[in-house]
């Protein structure tokens, strides 16, 4: 979970300045912004473009190309569920449907109370312990529907 919520141009500028001199700095900067705010705000695009001497279109093109970069603020918890082949062979589709039903959202969605965002991911590298999910950056294996329920309950309890 992130501590610093809400867009703030000064904080963004500070993160950009830390990294702007790296060769190929754009991805590290976008990651830093997403770490800071949970997403890449539209207002960041001109700041990044100016720092790296790129056009707004070039920066937007990169933000929109990569699946990782969100355009909106996510829920307090982000649950990434693997739908790649190894997890499919262990029934991840059923588990994912269960989670979708329980939270009342589809993959890519955020619950109304903004507690959870669920996203599809294609392989977490835990293919001998499928199905796998990642909750707030932590990896879990052998995630049945029951385990998924437990993880969601625990996350709710601590938030």
Pair of tokens at residue 146: 């029951």
- Choose, by CB under 8 A, the member of 21, 23, 157, 158 that binds other proteins: 23
Does 128 engage in binding with other proteins (CB under 8 A)?
Answer: yes
Does 114 engage in binding with other proteins (CB under 8 A)?
Answer: no
Residues 6+ apart with CB under 8 A from 49: 55, 56, 58, 59
Specify the residue, 139 or 155, whose C-beta has the smaller distance to other proteins.
Answer: 139
Among 1-9, 10-18, 104-112, 150-158, which window interacts with other proteins (CB under 8 A)?
104-112
Strand order in the sheet with 116-121: 116-121, 77-82, 133-135, 138-140
∠ CA 28-30-31, rounded to 5°: 65
- Choose, by CB under 8 A, the member of 16, 33, 45, 124 that binds other proteins: 124
CA distances from 45 to 59, 64, 74, 89 (A): 6, 11, 19, 41
Specify the residue, 10 or 146, whose C-beta has the smaller distance to other proteins.
Answer: 146
Among 1-9, 10-18, 94-102, 150-158, which window interacts with other proteins (CB under 8 A)?
94-102
Helices (H) and strands (E) in the chain, counts: 7, 4
Among 9-17, 130-138, 149-157, which window interacts with other proteins (CB under 8 A)?
130-138
CB atoms within 10 A of CB 68: 12
Does 17 engage in binding with other proteins (CB under 8 A)?
Answer: no
- Choose, by CB under 8 A, the member of 1, 9, 18, 71 that binds other proteins: 71
∠ CA 16-17-18, rounded to 5°: 90
Tell me which residues touch other proteins (CB under 8 A).
Answer: 23-28, 30-31, 52, 58, 61-62, 64-69, 71, 80, 83-90, 93-94, 96-97, 100, 106-109, 120-130, 132, 134, 137-142
């Amino acid at each position: 979970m992130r501590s610093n919520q809400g867009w703030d141009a000064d904080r963004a500028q500070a993160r950009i300045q830390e990294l702007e001199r790296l060769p190929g700095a754009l991805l590290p900067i976008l990651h830093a912004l997403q770490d800071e705010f949970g997403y890449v705000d539209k207002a960041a695009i001109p700041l990044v473009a100016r720092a790296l001497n790129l056009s707004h279109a070039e920066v937007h093109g990169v933000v929109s190309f990569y699946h990782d970069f969100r355009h909106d603020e996510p829920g307090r918890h982000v649950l990434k569920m693997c739908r790649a082949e190894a997890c499919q062979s262990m029934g991840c589709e059923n588990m994912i449907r269960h989670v979708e039903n329980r939270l009342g959202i589809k993959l890519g969605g955020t619950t109304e109370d903004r507690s959870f965002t669920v996203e599809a991911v294609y392989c977490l590298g835990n293919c001998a312990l499928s199905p796998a999910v990642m909750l707030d950056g932590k990896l879990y294996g052998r995630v049945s529907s029951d385990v998924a329920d437990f993880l969601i309950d625990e996350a709710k309890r601590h938030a």
